[in-house]
């Protein structure tokens, strides 16, 4: 019992002291995330084009509602091409940078069959409302920069390994910048591009998860590849 008394006396002081310690250790996290943003921006400057395979999972009330697979192609100054494999297998969407409409080929095997739709058309939005012009790494960089400059977050729950680095970001939603949310972002350290972007409500309910695999950088596809 004699050993417990000093601990009981110290316990209130330990509770008071703990937040001070965690507050001191948070600043390096913020510096690291700002350095990560710098690495991503430097990498993106060296990229003329890239492609990757994407798996997107969407949730409602903590339950999975939809899963989508596609291959994503991007070329700076030109545009975006998305080849769907599931559930709209055989469908391709083309978007030219700066244009208000995108082109849909319902069947790649029938290139003469195509439709032009506004980027704001619900048929062109993801399950959670993301527009095609909100999908490239440049938009992702702008979202990170806006969030880091506006929100006064200190603890990023940063975890670094040999090949990957993960951090937590409290931010306004990346679609309209209105609702406060949480994003857990995992990056590949060799190429400084996202591998997973997990989006949650403040109550920790999942909203969507994007998994990006098999990046190919600077393959230099011809411009015609991005034309329907």
Three-state secondary structure call for residue 21: helix
Q: Does residue 7 lie in a domain region?
A: no
Q: Does residue 123 lie in a domain region?
A: yes
Q: Does residue 19 lie in a domain region?
A: no
Q: What is the mean pLDDT of residues 35-47?
A: 96
Conformational region of residue 98, where left means phi above 0, alpha means psi within -120 to 50, and beta covers everything else = left
Question: How much is the pLDDT for 209?
Answer: 97
Question: How much is the pLDDT for 149?
Answer: 83
d(CA 173, CA 183): 9
Q: Does residue 17 lie in a domain region?
A: no
Q: Does residue 12 lie in a domain region?
A: no
For the segment 98-130, what is each residue's pLDDT rounded down to a tens digit? 899 999 999 887 888 999 999 999 888 888 889
Task: Give CA angle at 161 (159, 163), nearest 5°.
Answer: 130
Total domains in the fold of the chain: 1
Question: How much is the pLDDT for 16?
Answer: 32
Contact 152, 114 (CB under 8 A): no
pLDDT of 82 over the 90 cut: yes
Q: Does residue 5 lie in a domain region?
A: no
Question: How much is the pLDDT for 65?
Answer: 94
| 3-class SS letters over 142-153 | HHHHHHHHHCCC
Structure tokens at 181: 């949310």
Lowest mean pLDDT among 3-17, 83-97, 174-188: 3-17
Between 7 and 227, residue with greater pLDDT: 227
Between 49 and 14, residue with greater pLDDT: 49
Number of neighbouring beta carbons within 10 Å of residue 174: 19
Question: How much is the pLDDT for 28?
Answer: 67
Q: Quickly state the pLDDT bin for 27 (edges 50, 70, 90).
A: low
pLDDT of 186 over the 90 cut: yes
Provide the domain limits for residue 110. 27-226
Strand 92-96, strand 101-105: pairing:
antiparallel
Long-range Cβ contacts of 69-75 (<8 Å, 24+ apart): 72/135, 72/212, 73/49, 73/221, 73/225, 73/226, 74/49, 74/50, 74/136, 74/137, 75/48, 75/49, 75/221, 75/223, 75/226
Name the nearest CA neighbour of 93 among 85, 77, 108, 81: 81
Q: Does residue 10 lie in a domain region?
A: no
CATH number, residue 187: 2.50.20.10
Residue 99: CB partners within 8 Å, gap ≥ 6? 119
pLDDT of 8 over the 60 cut: no
Q: Does residue 9 lie in a domain region?
A: no
């Amino acid at each position: 019992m004699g050993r417990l008394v000093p601990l009981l006396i110290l316990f209130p002081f330990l509770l008071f002291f703990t937040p001070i310690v965690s507050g001191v250790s948070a600043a390096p996290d913020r510096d690291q995330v700002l350095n990560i943003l710098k690495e991503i921006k430097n990498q993106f400057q060296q990229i003329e084009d890239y492609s990757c395979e994407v798996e997107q999972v969407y949730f409602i009330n903590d339950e999975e509602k939809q899963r989508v697979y596609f291959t994503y192609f991007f070329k700076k100054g030109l545009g975006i091409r998305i080849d769907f494999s599931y559930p709209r297998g055989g469908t391709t969407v083309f978007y030219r940078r700066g244009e208000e409409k995108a082109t849909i080929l319902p069947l790649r095997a029938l290139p003469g069959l195509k439709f032009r739709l506004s980027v704001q058309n619900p048929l062109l939005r993801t399950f959670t409302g993301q527009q095609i012009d909100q999908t490239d790494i440049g938009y992702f960089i702008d979202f990170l920069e806006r969030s880091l400059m506006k929100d006064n977050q200190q603890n990023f729950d940063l975890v670094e390994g040999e090949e990957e680095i993960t951090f937590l970001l409290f931010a306004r939603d990346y679609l309209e910048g209105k609702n406060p949310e949480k994003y857990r972002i995992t990056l590949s350290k060799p190429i400084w591009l996202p591998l997973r972007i997990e989006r949650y409500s403040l109550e920790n309910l999942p909203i969507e998860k994007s998994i990006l695999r098999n990046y190919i950088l600077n393959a230099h596809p011809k411009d015609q590849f991005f034309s329907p």
